Amino acid sequence: MTEQRIRVRDGAQIAIALQQTEADKPRIALIHSLGMDRHFWKPVADQLAQQAHVLTIDCRGHGQSDKTAGPYSTSQFANDLQDVFEAIQWPSAVVAGASMGGCVALQFAADHPDQTDGLGLVDTTCWYGPTAPQDWTTRANKALSEGLSVLVEFQLSRWFSDDFRAQHPEVVKNCVDTFLRNEPSAFAATCHMLGAFDGRAALGGIQAPTTIVVGEQDYATPLAMAQALKDGIAHASFQVIPHAKHLTPLETSGVVANVLAQLLTSKRA
């Protein structure tokens, strides 16, 4: 594995990790959820690394990437990924994301279709609904005025099932620690980005092979949101993971890795 920081078009630096395998293998880029970083994908990335080149990134405002001033947009995050592709000489890849990362992956597929070999949409949505700007502004303001710690219980209630939380306290602790390392201003800018995101118009134009995955008990991006993705993207596959909540790449990493492995071998229609 190699780790580096790549300067993108506006001068910001994006932290990445790259696991490389045999030259003729496919490529996959994995984009994390809100408040996490590239290590979020480690359980899945390690399973995929034998059959693909695997890129994980810290999105702008997260992890070791620069915490540039807002406003942020999903197109900006997608352009960051495109610039990373250019820097590491990837002409294209399967692009997959969880939650926020799924919004960015969808935006990337819409903005850069020739560089999207496949699309993985995990626990995500194309639109958070009519009250999204207000809802996300409330969360952003709470982080700014009271700090991220006041949001932890809310996040935990959505991230993992009760059984997983009881059986894997170390995973839960790591997620909480990662979440608390965020800068409130960057977190708030990302919240506003998600509140403004509306990718519904892009769905009909997606031509890349697409897989949609959602936890059965996901209350953050529930089944109806996943179904809207399925209804809007022609020929997309759809899988519900029983009993899982919002962060399935951690709670059910084997299932998510298997689904993405199948996407690596899919051919564009």
The predicted structure's pLDDT at residue 268? 59
The predicted structure's pLDDT at residue 174? 97
Contact partners, residue 55, CB within 8 Å, separation at least 6:
16, 17, 18, 19, 27, 28, 29, 30, 84, 88, 90, 93
Q: Evaluate whether 198 touches 210 at the Cβ level (below 8 Å).
A: no
**DSSP 3-state of 116:** strand
The predicted structure's pLDDT at residue 266? 87
The CATH class of 2-128+198-264 is: alpha beta
Rounded CA separation 247/251 (Å): 6
Domain boundaries, the chain: 2-128+198-264
Report, as ranges of residue numbers, the positions in the chain whose pLDDT lies below 50.
Answer: 269
Rounded CA separation 161/22 (Å): 37
Extract the tokens encoding 142. 């709470």
The predicted structure's pLDDT at residue 98? 98
Give the pTM. Answer: 0.97
